[in-house]
Structure formats: C-alpha cells, structure tokens
Amino acid sequence: MASTTSASGSRPGGRSARVRAQVLEAAGAQLVEQGYDALTVDAVAERAGVHRTTVYRRWRDVGGLLADLLDAAADDSWEPADTGTLEGDLTALNEEILAGVTADPPLTTALIAASFRSAQAADALRAFWEDRYARCAVVAARAEQRGELPAGTRSRDLLVAATAPLYHELVLLGTPPAPHLPATAARAAASAARAGAFTGPVGE
C-alpha cells in the first residue's frame, strides 16, 4: 500500500533491465539528495553512468523518469498481510506506510512532493494508489466473510480512513513518527466500519 522505496528493483533480466535499474536508482537518489529542481536528464545520466542519449531515448524527460519510478514501484507481487482480523490487517498496512514514509533515504515523500511539480508524476502516483487500493480490497472482503463488517462496506473509504492519519501526521505536519500511530488509526477506522460508516451510497 505504501512503500515506493524499492522502485528500481523490478523486471530483472537482460541489459535493458540493468540499464533501467541503474537509471531509476540514480533518478531516485538525485531526487532525494538534490530535490526536484536539480533532477535533470543530464544529471541522472551522469550519476547512472550511461550516455545522456540513452536516457532521452527511453524516458524523454524528467516527467518520464518520475513516472517510471512510480510504475516500477507498483510492478511487484505485493499483497496486504492477512493477520486474521480487520484491525490487524489495517495495522499491518499502516506499519508498512510508516516504514515507507520514514525510510532513509526518504524516496516516498520525495516522490509525493515531486507529483505537485510534474503532471506525469502526478498521473503515475494516482495510478500507483489506484493499484494499491485495488489490491487492498481483499482486506474488507475478508472482514465481511469473517463477520467483522456489515455487507457492502466500501473498501476504498475504509482504507482511506485507516491510512490518511499517517500521511497527515507524517507528511503534511512533519510530526515525529509515533510507534502507536499505525494501530491507533487502524482501530479508529475499524470501529467506524463496524458501525456501518462505510456502507450505503457514497456521500450518505
């Protein structure tokens, strides 16, 4: 659901994949260390040890690099943990978010910030979240099957309610990470969901 820290580690095999991994690793490092304004194709090519035409040919510009970084992050076999309870599943998701947002180097937060500067990055980040929400729909489905949630619970609304407090505290407010935050946010969302807060038509 959360982490984009492994963005360069996908699609193994062959020289093309190795070049892609080198360039994406360099792009991520450049973004984290120097910021969006210093993220240029030439800087990434030099850092990756490849010719600038290689980068231009495949990615064209900085937006293409950022979009591929996010695409690579979603290109994996990640699935949400199955802990046996709704609150446990949501807590596990939040613990991954906490790890991703507070990772060193802070690639996740750097990519979120870059999405406000690049339309391509914004589109790619949106697609990344959509992919994660789709994969996490099983959390609500399992909880319904266990009788923990009322039928028809909207999984996306549940997931947003569970995870949003972490992004608000850690990214928007810059609050130091608190170990209890993943479980506290999960507990509140699970309680609201059990009470039927996320059933019925959207907006009710």
67 token code pair: 């979009």
pLDDT band at 8 (very low <50, low <70, confident <90, very high): very low
- The more confidently predicted of residues 47 and 4 is 47
* Beta-strand runs (E) in the chain: none
pLDDT in tens, 116-159: 999 999 999 999 999 999 999 999 999 999 999 999 999 999 99
For position 61, what pLDDT does the model report? 95
Cβ atoms of 43 and 27 within 8 Å: the answer is: no
- Chain segment 33-53, per-residue pLDDT in tens: 999 999 999 999 999 999 999
Q: How far apart are CA 130 and CA 143, in angstroms?
A: 21
Instruction: Give the orientation angle of helix 41-48 with respect to helix 62-74, to 10 degrees.
Output: 60
Residue 77 confidence (pLDDT): 87
Looking at this protein, which amino acid is placed at residue 37?
Answer: D
Give the confidence band of 161 by pLDDT, cuts at 50, 70, 90. very high
User: pLDDT band at 27, cuts 50/70/90?
Assistant: very high
Question: What are 161's two structure tokens?
Answer: 């309610």
Locate all alpha helices (DSSP H) within the chain, ordered by sequence.
Answer: 14-34, 41-48, 52-59, 62-74, 86-101, 107-114, 119-145, 155-167, 181-194
- Contact assessment for residue 149 and residue 194, using Cβ atoms and an 8 Å cutoff: yes
pLDDT at residue 178, rounded to an integer: 94
CA–CA distance from 187 to each of 81, 100, 158 (Å)? 16, 20, 11
For residue range 51-103, what is the model confidence (pLDDT) as tens digits? 999 999 999 999 999 999 988 887 678 999 999 999 999 999 999 999 999 99
